[in-house]
Amino acid sequence: MRWRGERESSNVEDVRGSRRGLAVGGGLGTIVVLALALLFGADPRQILNQIQGGGAPAPATQGSRPVNPEEEELKKFSSVVLASTEDVWTDIFRREGRQYVEPKLRLFTDQVDSACGAASSAVGPFYCPGDQRVYLDLSFFRELQNRFRAPGDFAQAYVIAHEVGHHVQKLLGTSDKVDAMRGRLSEREMNQLSVRLELQADFYAGVWAYYAQKKGLLEVGDVEEALRAATAIGDDRLQKESQGYVVPDSFTHGTSEQRVRWFRKGLETGDIRQGDTFNARNL
């Protein structure tokens, strides 16, 4: 991705080196559950509350780490990607007669407080609609490359663009409508709505990529990087790898094929009207 020299966002909040939040116990099993369930945009409140069981807040701790050149590079890259999403969505909203409210990107280390509750870096990147922030521990990008076998800077950009897609859903009222259904539908029905919400965020990530491509930011192989990332985090693939079999009724993000298809649709059309996953017969 040709990102060097591009504008950086002023909406990056760097709180790395300081930690405050609930103690998240449970060991490796908890980390695996959180990583699989919350990866790329699930509401962290549900699972954190279940796992923590109302645990007491851990004391605030302050710390500092030596400057890591690799992480500083990732911070700058993330800031450029966020700025690009700001430009794209501001323009799209303006054409629709709306105003785009830019989200914040909060970079943290290990643990962070949010309006959705305290979260460990084990949950992966997430968007909190309560404070309209995207939360990211930069170490996740190493996980993306090593654990999920999805290397490349555009795979990383896809992660950020997906979470910004959830912010777009917040601004359009989509996520609020889904959230209002909690407690009124069965777990299976809520899972189905969650899948549609996640696939739409994938589509919105594709819409951003459409305009990034038009601006000349994409290089040969970038699209393939994003598609590998989308494939790597499909529910079917993650369940198959973690437990050896799949349970479709428990899907919350969509299959690898679905995630790739909706991202590609956004990339090919650049038209937000084509992304109504909630009324699509064939996901």
> How high does pLDDT run on average in the chain?
86
Residue 269 counted as domain residue: yes
How many structural domains compose the chain? 1
Q: Is 281 part of a structural domain of the chain?
A: no
Q: Is residue 283 part of a domain?
A: no
- The boundaries of the domain holding residue 143 are 12-274
For residue 4, being part of any structural domain is answered with: no
Reference 127, options 228, 256, 41, 231; nearest CA is 41
Note the pLDDT tens digit of each residue in 19-76: 553 333 333 333 444 444 445 555 554 544 444 433 333 333 334 556 788 999 999 9
What is the pLDDT at residue 106?
A: 97
Residue 3 is assigned to a structural domain of this protein: no
How many Cα neighbours within 13 Å face the side chain of 177? 9
Dihedral sign computed on CA atoms, order 236, 208, 75, 154:
positive
Q: How far are the Cα atoms of 2, 84, 86, 88, 210 from residue 215, in angstroms, in the given order?
A: 10, 10, 14, 10, 9
224 domain residue, yes or no: yes
With respect to residue 279, please indicate whether it lies within any of the assigned structural domains: no
**Inside any domain, residue 117:** yes
